[in-house]
C-alpha cells in the first residue's frame, strides 16, 4: 500500500496534520503532490538509484518529498538543519544529490549550503523564496496530470551522527519491488507486531530528518493512518495533541519521557491520554526508573526497540516482558545477537562485550567508505555487524545494553558504564539533566564525573554535589559513584533529546 491507494478509497482523510499551525494534507493531496514531484524529478533526469537531498525543519511537505522518492526509485537524504552550513554542505555533496529541496524557513542556511555544493544542479524552495532556489510549486505544476508508469520503491540514505570524523551515509539496497507491493520490512513489522491499520493516529514529536520519525511516518501512510507532527517537541504540547487528536500511537526517546515526568502532577493529570494504545521508544537506553514511571502513568503500552540507522539488527520488548526483565531491550527480531570480546571471540551469557547482529546477507554499506563498512564488520564473519554498543545477553536471549564502547570509563582497571550512573540520577528532584563522563586521573587513569543541570529554583552548591554523590552510592556500588559533580547551565543535546556526549568530552579534554 501507499498514499495512492487511499487517495482512491479515503481521499479526504488527513494524511498529515501539523500540530501548531493545523495545516493538513489529505491523502488526495499527498498522492497528487508526490506524483507531480516524482514526474518532475524524472523530467530533470533522475533515475532509479539517484539521490535527492532535503533540508527542512518539521513541515508537512517533507512527507510529500519522501513519498516522491519512494514512488520513483530514488534515495532521499534528509539533512539535519541544526548543522553548520559547512557540515550540511558536506552531506549534500557527499550523497551525490543533483537536486536540493529546502524549506524557506531555513533560507539563510539553505542559500549557504547551495553556494558551497557545486554538485547540486537544481535547487527548489517551498514555503517562500530562497536566494538561488527556484519555485517548488512551479516544479510540481510542470508535471501536470502525468504519472510515472514504473514506480519502483525507493528508500532513504541518511547520515550517521559523526561521532568521530565526518558523518557517513548509510546506503541500503533497493528492494526490487513496486511502491504498492508488500515487502518493506518496517511496514511488515508495524502490521505484524504493532497492529498498524488505517485507524492509527500517530504523534511524531521528533525531527523528521532522523531515521525513525521519517520511516515511521511513512509506515503510517502505508496503512492509511494519520500523522500528527509537532513542529518541535514540547512536553505539555505533546499531551495536548494526544488529547485533541485522540492519538493512538506515538514514538519518543527517553529524554522526552523525562521531560513529561518533570511536569507537575496537576499538569500531567489534566490531559486525557486514554486513547493511547502504543508508545514506542528507542534511540537511547531508558533509565529503568523512568520507564517504570511511564508504565505506571500510561499503562503497560510501552514497547521498546533497539536498532540503528543501518537497519541490520533489531530487538524488541513489551512492557510485560520488561517488567520481568527490567532493563532489557528485548530479544532479536531479525537474526541472532552475538556478544564478543575485542578480539571477536564470542562470550557466554552474562558477560559484557561488543554487540554484533548477524544477518544472512549484507544489508547496508557506508557510502564511499569501504573502510568504515569493514570496521563495522566482525573480523571472522562477513555478515555480523557492530555499531559501537556494549552489553550482554542473558540465558533467555534477552539483550541488556551497558553503554557505548567509546563512553566506557576505565578507573583503576575496572570498567564503569556511565549510563548506569546517569540512570541513578535522572529522576532526582534537583536534577533537570545529567551526563556522566570519565576525566583524567593521575592515580586511577580516569575518574567518574557527573555534569548536572539543576531544575529551576534549585541552587547549585557543594552540599548538593555531596547529596547527589550519596544518592548514587545508595543505589549502586560505591566505586561507580561520581568522585565530583560539576554544575552547568545546559548540556549538549540534539533536537531529538539525545545527549551529544562527544562535545562534553571534548570540552573536558
On the 0-12 / 13-18 / 19+ scale of CB atoms within 10 A, 445 is middle
Give the pLDDT means over successive 10-residue stretches in the chain (509 positions).
94 98 98 98 97 98 98 97 92 96 98 97 97 98 96 94 70 92 88 92 95 94 98 97 98 92 96 97 86 97 88 89 96 90 93 90 80 84 86 95 83 85 94 93 87 96 96 91 95 82 85
Q: Is 452 helix (H, G, I), strand (E, B) or coil?
A: strand
Q: Which three cell numbers stand for residue 312?
A: 541490520
Q: Give the pLDDT confidence score for residue 370 in this predicted structure.
A: 83
On the 0-12 / 13-18 / 19+ scale of CB atoms within 10 A, 436 is buried
On the 0-12 / 13-18 / 19+ scale of CB atoms within 10 A, 99 is buried
Secondary structure of 326-365 in HEC code, one letter for each residue: CCCCEEECCCCEEEECCCCCECCCCCCEEEEEECCCCCCE
Question: Cα(306)–Cα(503) distance, rounded to whole angstroms?
Answer: 24
Q: Give the pLDDT confidence score for residue 94 in this predicted structure.
A: 95
Q: Give the pLDDT confidence score for residue 163 in this predicted structure.
A: 47
Cα 387 off chain centre by: 15
Question: Cα(139)–Cα(39) distance, rounded to whole angstroms?
Answer: 10
Q: Give the pLDDT confidence score for residue 161 in this predicted structure.
A: 64
Question: Cα(214)–Cα(99) distance, rounded to whole angstroms?
Answer: 19
Spell out the domains of the chain, with CATH numbers in brackets: 3-145+156-222 (3.40.50.12780), 408-508 (3.30.300.30)
Q: Which residues contact 306 (CB under 8 A, 6 or more apart)?
A: 282, 313, 314, 315, 316, 329, 330, 399, 401
Question: Cα(227)–Cα(382) distance, rounded to whole angstroms?
Answer: 38
Question: Cα(397)–Cα(93) distance, rounded to whole angstroms?
Answer: 42
Backbone φ/ψ region at 413: left (φ over 0), alpha (ψ -120 to 50), beta: left
Nearest to 93 by CA among 125, 51, 40, 38: 51
Amino acid at each position: 500500500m501507499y498514499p495512492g491507494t487511499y487517495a482512491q478509497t479515503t481521499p479526504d482523510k488527513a494524511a498529515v496534520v501539523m500540530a501548531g499551525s493545523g495545516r493538513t494534507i489529505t491523502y488526495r493531496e499527498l498522492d497528487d503532490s508526490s506524483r507531480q514531484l516524482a514526474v518532475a524529478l524524472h523530467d530533470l533526469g533522475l533515475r532509479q538509484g539517484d539521490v535527492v537531498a532535503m533540508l527542512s525543519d518539521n513541515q508537512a511537505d517533507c512527507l510529500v518529498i519522501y513519498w516522491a522518492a519512494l514512488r520513483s526509485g530514488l534515495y532521499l537524504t534528509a539533512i539535519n538543519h541544526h548543522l553548520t552550513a559547512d557540515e550540511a554542505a558536506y552531506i549534500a555533496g557527499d550523497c551525490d544529490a543533483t537536486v536540493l529541496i529546502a524549506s524557506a524557513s531555513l533560507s539563510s542556511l539553505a542559500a549557504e549550503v547551495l553556494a558551497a555544493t557545486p554538485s547540486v544542479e537544481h535547487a527548489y524552495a517551498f514555503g517562500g523564496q530562497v536566494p538561488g532556489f527556484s519555485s517548488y510549486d512551479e516544479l510540481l505544476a510542470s508535471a501536470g496530470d502525468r504519472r510515472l508508469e514504473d514506480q519502483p520503491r525507493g528508500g532513504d540514505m541518511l547520515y550517521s551522527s559523526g561521532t568521530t570524523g565526518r558523518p557517513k551515509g548509510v546506503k541500503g539496497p533497493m528492494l526490487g519491488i513496486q511502491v504498492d507491493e508488500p515487502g518493506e520490512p518496517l511496514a511488515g513489522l508495524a502490521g505484524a507486531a504493532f497492529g498498524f491499520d488505517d485507524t492509527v493516529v500517530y504523534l511524531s514529536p521528533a525531527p523528521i530528518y532522523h531515521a525513525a520519525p521519517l520511516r515511521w511516518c511513512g509506515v503510517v501512510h502505508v496503512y492509511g493512518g494519520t500523522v500528527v507532527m509537532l513542529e518541535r517537541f514540547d512536553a505539555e504540547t505533546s499531551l495536548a495533541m494526544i488529547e485533541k487528536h485522540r492519538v493512538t500511537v506515538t514514538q519518543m526517546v527517553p529524554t522526552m519521557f523525562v521531560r513529561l515526568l518533570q511536569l507537575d502532577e496537576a499538569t500531567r493529570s489534566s490531559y486525557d491520554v486514554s486513547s493511547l494504545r502504543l508508545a514506542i521508544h528507542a534511540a537511547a537506553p531508558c533509565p529503568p526508573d523512568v520507564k517504570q514511571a511511564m508504565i505506571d502513568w500510561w499503562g503497560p503500552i510501552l514497547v521498546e526497540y533497539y536498532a540503528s540507522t543501518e537497519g541490520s539488527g533489531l530487538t524488541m520488548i513489551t512492557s510485560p516482558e520488561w517488567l520481568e526483565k527490567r532493563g532489557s531491550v528485548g530479544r532479536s527480531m531479525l537474526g541472532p545477537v552475538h556478544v564478543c570480546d575485542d578480539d571477536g571471540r564470542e562470550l557466554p551469557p552474562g558477560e559484557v562485550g561488543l554487540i554484533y547482529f548477524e544477518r544472512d546477507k549484507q544489508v547496508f554499506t557506508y557510502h564511499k567508505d569501504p573502510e568504515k563498512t569493514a570496521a563495522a564488520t566482525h573480523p571472522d564473519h562477513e555478515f555480523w555487524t557492530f555499531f559501537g554498543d556494549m552489553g550482554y545477553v542473558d540465558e533467555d536471549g534477552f539483550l541488556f545494553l551497558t553503554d557505548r564502547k567509546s563512553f566506557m570509563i576505565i578507573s583503576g582497571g575496572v570498567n564503569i558504564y556511565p549510563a548506569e550512573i546517569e540512570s541513578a540520577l535522572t529522576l532526582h528532584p534537583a536534577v533537570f539533566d545529567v551526563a556522566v563522563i570519565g576525566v583524567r586521573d593521575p592515580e586511577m587513569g580516569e575518574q567518574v564525573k557527573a555534569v548536572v543541570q539543576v531544575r529551576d529554583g534549585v541552587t547549585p552548591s557543594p552540599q548538593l554535589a555531596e547529596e547527589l554523590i550519596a544518592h548514587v552510592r545508595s543505589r549502586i556500588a560505591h566505586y561507580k559513584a561520581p568522585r565530583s559533580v560539576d554544575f552547568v547551565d545546559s548540556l549538549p543535546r540534539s533536537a531529538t533529546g539525545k545527549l551529544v556526549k562527544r562535545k562534553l568530552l571534548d570540552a573536558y579534554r
